Structure 1
Amino acid sequence: MFSYPTVRTSLIFLAIAVAGLLAADIAITASNPWRDLGNFFLGVVTPNFFSSEGLMTALLRTVAFAFVGVALGSVAGFMLSLVYRFLPVRIFCAFIRAIHELFWALIFLQFFGFHPLTGVLAIAIPYSGIFAKVYSEILEEADPEPGRLLPPGTGVIAAFLYTRIPDCWVQLRTYTAYRLECGLRSSAILGFVGLPTLGFYLESAFSQGLYSDAGAMLILFYVLIATMPLWVKPKLLPIYILGAPFFLGDGLPIVWGNVERFFTQDIIPSPIRQGEGLAGLTSWFGDLMVHQALPGIWNTVILTQIALVGTGILALLLFPLISNHFGGPIRRTSGHVFLVIARSTPEYILAYILLQLWGPSMLPAVVALALHNGGIIGHLIGRQTNNIKLRGDAVKGFSRYSWELVPRVYRSFLAFLFYRWEIIMRETAILGILGIYTLGFYVDSAIQNIQFDRAMMLILITALLNIGVDALGRYIRRKLALQTMPTC
């Protein structure tokens, strides 16, 4: 039900987003956006599945990178979850998961080059931090009673394997399957930095105006995601995991001297390398903050807040599409299809497509972030409403929506929204690589100018910003007693 604190918090965030709109660059700059949009939709309905000989190879490598990266991340995350109660471990995991997969890929590209290890580690490292957090929460919620029934002298490892793991197995397996779907999206967008996954071919098709080719790639990706329950079977997972490394490709050999130089020279601030002392370092850091970090933080925060409120509005508008309390089975089926497409399309790919159609501004990023995250939250809220029992004489239509359902799910809705807040900021920062002036833009510019010391400092600032927003989101959820969290 609505309460004064939840309404007040909602209005504060709405006001911040409205103020952000006044300062944001929200415009369509393309000369004929509707024609381009029409051409794109025409390409989607007339896909060309035989456009490229490497398309199926790219799809296979997208799957391979996802399986290897998620497998390594889940194993490392599980080991970290066992010691997650220690503060240094929590800080370490918060740091590595606060850095987006594309930022990790850009880092590893500088010394591993276009080697499969770049893509695998770009997925595995942040995912291990995510797995550690979620696995630890799941294990902490295990029923302690079975452990008390064990005979005296039972070892700690045996007690853990025979009591806690069986009790949590379903939740662990379900969440790992969800992260595999996320891994497929992460793997696809790694192609935008040059790795041989689906994003590489999608960017190439758009840059040449081959919308039918791009439509075919998107359809294949949606089919891949939608059919996961059919081909991702527990009995087949060992085969997939063992076979996936053989489909990553060879890439260029690693020059280990480049790795050594990167860590011992390239990322060391230039004033330190050149012996300029504290005065030089202070000047270097001040210039970085004034001309890159602060403008990047400002635009990242503005875009995040607009996208967060846009996500909330879309989620509230979209959840009736799959709710049993509205319409019939045909409408709900159509709603499910729409929400699957919205939440399955990576924000980066959707923002890239909209940038090609509408021109450079914050608008494509706002729409991409709101659609993707709104689709996720709308799906979760819609499923919750299906468990709500209404009286036989309950009102219908808009009154049912506004007076019966929204008040009952609003607290859960806010919990989901603040849970996604940090994720939206991670994505906002990385969208700067597409030319939007968020932190990612300045990171990419520094790398292009071979200023790796500046790039690493900006990535560190991005991680700290994400950690701060995550902590603020947790504080708000705790303050408002928003207990319902996503159960992926």
Structure 2
Amino acid sequence: MSTVLASAAVPPRDPQARRRAGTLLLALALLWPLLVLSEFKPWTLFEPGNLQVIGGFLSGFLPPAHSPEFLGQLLTATLETLAMATAGIALAFLLAVPLALLMTRALSVSRIGPGPGRWRGEAVRQLARSMLALLRAIPEVVWALLFVRALGLGPAAAVLALAISYGGMLGKVYAEILESTDTRPGRALLEAGSGRIAALLYGLLPGAGQELTSYTVYRWECAVRASVVMGFVGAGGLGQLMDQSTKMLNGGEASTILLTFLLLVFLADLLSVGLRKVLA
């Protein structure tokens, strides 16, 4: 009886404690040289001289600019940025969906059973995977610089850059989401003689629709931010307006633009929540 009470008084021991501690020590051992090489010294921000400089810089952002002329320019630039992001994501979606369907093993007819087309199907999936890797390997800013040289200044360069880069990202994640969901309904439809589109619509999308929608809206939000960055290389929109304000050392205009960025992120989050409720 005393043995039972003594064993009950001893708290249970985590069997994975040593492994977690070893993993943590290994991560710290690998991270420390990287922090040293990157010259990561956050404590320098709190030195008296640096705090004074930061305070003076931030004080220039107040109050935010609100003149009618600037707000008109801000509205035009915001609409241009939203148009670039939406058009780029739409083209990226059209590029990503066919490649994702080709790469998704759960929609492969050749994998149902042994047959001469099995190796051809695998070759097609590898080709689609390689194309998606190529599309997303080059950052969208680099694509924008190339298209600006070819098409000139304007939103068209940003739209094409987003379409190519985000097409690779969307296609890869779409395929992974479709693979991670319950693939048995889609497989059953294929084995019954259904086509890939029907297996996708009735077998895989009911379980993966919310996650696919959430990721697509998230990528649209990222495209809005990327459109702003590409404005610094001549693609127009909020980025170009921000570039002009910073070059003119107009902190009030810059703070108003930053508040607009924040508002766009909130709107994207509300859109994602609303779409997920609709698809629930």
TM-score, normalised to structure 1's length?
0.43
Displacement of 1:136 after TM fit? 0.6
* Deviations, residues 119-157 of structure 1 (Å, cap 9, x unaligned): 101111110110111001011122133236549333333
Query: If each structure's helix is expressed as a fraction of its own residues, which one has the higher value?
Result: 2
Aligned equivalent of 1:42: 59
- TM-superposed deviation, 1:221: 1.3
Question: Residues 3, 35 of structure 1: CA spacing in aligned structure 2 closer, same or farther, 3 A cutoff?
Answer: closer
User: Would the aligned equivalents of 2:231 and 2:238 in 1 still touch at CA under 8 Å?
Assistant: yes
- Name the structure 2 match of 1:66: 85
Which residue type is aligned with residue 255 of structure 2? Answer: G
* Structure-2 separation of matches of 1:171 and 1:219: 29
In structure 2, give the amino acid aligned to 1:77: A
- CA-CA distance at 1:230 after TM superposition: 4.2
Gaps of 5+ in 2: 1-16, 105-124, 276-280
Please, which of 100, 104, 107 is the counterpart of residue 139 of structure 2?
100
SS of the residue 1:82 aligns to: helix
Q: Which amino acid aligns with 1:10?
A: L
Change in CA separation of 1:97 and 1:209 when aligned onto 2, cut-off 3 Å: same
SS of corresponding position for 2:170? helix
**Match in the other structure for 1:7:** 25
Structure 1 match to 2:164:
125
Cα offsets for 1:248-275 (capped at 9, x unmatched):
xxxxxxxxxxxxxxxxxxxxxxxxxxxx
Q: Residue deviations 1:331-377, cap 9 Å, x none?
A: xxxxxxxxxxxxxxxxxxxxxxxxxxxxxxxxxxxxxxxxxxxxxxx
Matched position secondary structure for 1:114: coil
Alignment of 1:188-203 (within 5 A): 188-203=228-243
CA distance in 1, matches of 2:26, 2:261: 41
Q: How far is 1:41 from its partner?
A: 2.1
Q: Give the CA deviation at 1:71.
A: 1.6
Query: After superposition, where does 1:220-299 map in structure 2 within 5 Å?
Result: 220-230=260-270, 234=275
Q: Deviations over 1:93-112 (max 9, x none)?
A: 22221211111100011111
> Is residue 168 of structure 1 aligned with residue 203 of structure 2?
no
Is the contact made by 1:189 and 1:197 (CA closer than 8 Å) also made in structure 2? no
What is the number of equivalent residue pairs in this alignment? 229
Report if aligned partners of 1:43, 1:214 keep a CA contact under 8 Å in 2: no
Q: 1:20 to 1:148 in 2, by over 3 A?
A: closer
State the alpha-carbon separation in 2 of the partners of residues 6 and 105 from structure 1. Answer: 40
**Equivalent residue number for residue 88 of structure 1:** 127
Is the contact made by 1:100 and 1:126 (CA closer than 8 Å) also made in structure 2? yes
- 5 Å-filtered alignment, 1:356-367, equals none
Contact 2:147 2:157 in 1 (8 A): yes
Alpha-carbon shift at residue 170 of structure 1 (Å): 0.8
- Following superposition, the deviation at residue 68 of structure 1 comes to 0.8
Contact 2:84–2:227, Cα closer than 8 Å, also in 1: yes
Query: Could you say if the C-alpha distance between residues 97 and 152 of structure 1 is closer, same or farther in structure 2, counting changes exceeding 3 Å?
Result: closer
Partners in 2 of 1:94 and 1:155 — Cα distance? 27
Task: Please tell me the residue identity of whatever aligns with 2:241.
Answer: Y
Distance 2:33 2:154 in 1: 46
Where 2:103 maps in the other structure, the secondary structure is: coil
- Residue 78, structure 1, aligned to residue 97, structure 2: yes
The residue identity in structure 1 corresponding to 2:34 is I
For the 8 Å contact 2:154–2:236, the answer to whether it is kept is no
- Partners in 2 of 1:207 and 1:33 — Cα distance? 22
User: In 2 relative to 1, CA 45–227 (structure 1 residues): closer, same or farther, beyond 3 Å?
Assistant: farther
The 1-side partners of 2:208 and 2:271 are apart by: 24
Say which is worse superposed, 225-234 or 161-170, in terms of deviation.
225-234
Match of 2:183 in 1: 144
TM-score, normalization by structure 2:
0.73
Instruction: Show the counterpart of 2:109.
Output: none
Q: What 5-or-longer segments of structure 1 have no aligned partner?
A: 235-488
Shift, 1:174, TM fit: 0.8
- For residue 210 of structure 1, the aligned residue among 238, 250, 255 is 250
Secondary structure, counterpart of 1:175 in structure 2: helix
Structure 1 vs Structure 2 CA RMSD = 2.7
CA distance in 2, matches of 1:229, 1:19: 36
In the TM superposition, residue 34 of structure 1 has moved relative to its aligned partner by: 4.9
